[in-house]
Amino acid sequence: MKNTVRVAAVQAEPKWLRLAEGVAQVIDLIGAAAGAGARLIAFPETFLPGYPWWCWVDSNQWNVEYSTRARENSMTRDGAEIDAIADAARAHGIHVVLGFGERQERRIYMAQAVIDDYGEIVSVRRKAGLNSVERKVFASGTPNLPAVHHTPIGKYGALSGQENQRPLLTRALRADEEQLHIAAWPGSPDGDAAGPESSTTVSRMYALEAGAFVLAPCVVVGEAAWDGRRGLAGPRTGRAHIYAADGEEVVAPLEEGADGILLADLELGASGIDAQHLDTDRQLRTRKAAAPARRGTRRAVSGWQSGPDRWALPLSLGSYPGGIAAC
CA 198 to chain centre: 19
Residue (of 254, 209, 184) closest to 41 by Cα position: 184
Neighbour count for residue 11 (Cβ, 10 Å): 26
Answer whether the bond into residue 143 is a cis peptide, omega within 30°.
no
Residue (of 78, 55, 57) closest to 68 by Cα position: 55
Per-residue pLDDT of the chain (327 residues; tens, 9 = 90+): 568 999 999 999 999 999 999 999 999 999 999 999 999 999 999 999 999 998 877 667 778 888 999 999 999 999 999 999 999 999 999 999 999 999 999 999 999 999 999 999 999 999 998 988 899 899 999 888 899 999 999 999 999 999 999 999 999 999 999 999 999 999 988 755 555 578 999 999 999 999 999 999 999 999 898 887 767 778 899 999 999 999 999 999 999 999 999 999 999 864 433 434 444 444 445 434 444 443 433 333 333 333 333 333 332 233 323 333 333
- Are the C-beta atoms of 114 and 40 separated by less than 8 Å? no
Residue (of 66, 144, 156, 145) closest to 115 by Cα position: 156
- Are the C-beta atoms of 111 and 126 separated by less than 8 Å? yes
> How do 149-151 and 154-160 pair as beta strands?
antiparallel
Extents of the domains making up the chain: 3-297
3-297: CATH topology is: Nitrilase/N-carbamoyl-D-aminoacid amidohydrolase (3.60.110)
- What DSSP designation does 10 have? E
- For the entire predicted model, the pTM comes to 0.83
- Are the C-beta atoms of 142 and 325 separated by less than 8 Å? no
Residues 6+ apart with CB under 8 A from 153: 3, 5, 39, 40, 95, 268, 269, 270
